Amino acid sequence: MRALGLLFFLLAGCELCGHELIKEAPSPERKYIATVFESNCGATTPFITQVVLRKEGRTFSADNEEDVVFRVKEKEDVEVRWINAEQLLVRRFPNKDAIFKEMGDWHGVKITYVAEWPTSSSP
């Protein structure tokens, strides 16, 4: 599994990879932005769905590994929702075998992962 993660890390910054932005969600006070995107590095590698956090005013970059908080193999239905200014919910597929990066904290932002949205905050 570690080798797979290293392979995706190396390919994610490769100029041969294409990145498609799926969704961006600013935090309530617009201090941070959560971005969901997919990477495609060619026919011999699977798609990768990722979530990146960045401070408002910074340009999105798929190449900054420090800002990637979640990464899963394949195209997955991943969504993000801010609970408050410093707490982010990530709804993701519950298959732990496909997930190879899942951070719980990013520069003071607490990140919680769920398979279903909590009833009180459903769209």
Q: What share of the chain is helix, strand, coil (3-state, %, to 5)?
A: 15, 45, 40
pLDDT band at residue 120 under the 50/70/90 scheme: low
Neighbour-count burial of 114, counting CB atoms closer than 10 A to its CB (0-12 exposed, 13-18 middle, 19+ buried): middle
Q: What is the pTM of this model?
A: 0.78
pLDDT over 60 at 4, yes or no: no
**DSSP 8-state assignment for residue 7:** H
Could you tell me if 14 and 20 are in contact, meaning their C-beta atoms sit under 8 angstroms apart? no
Q: How far apart are CA 83 and CA 77, in angstroms?
A: 19
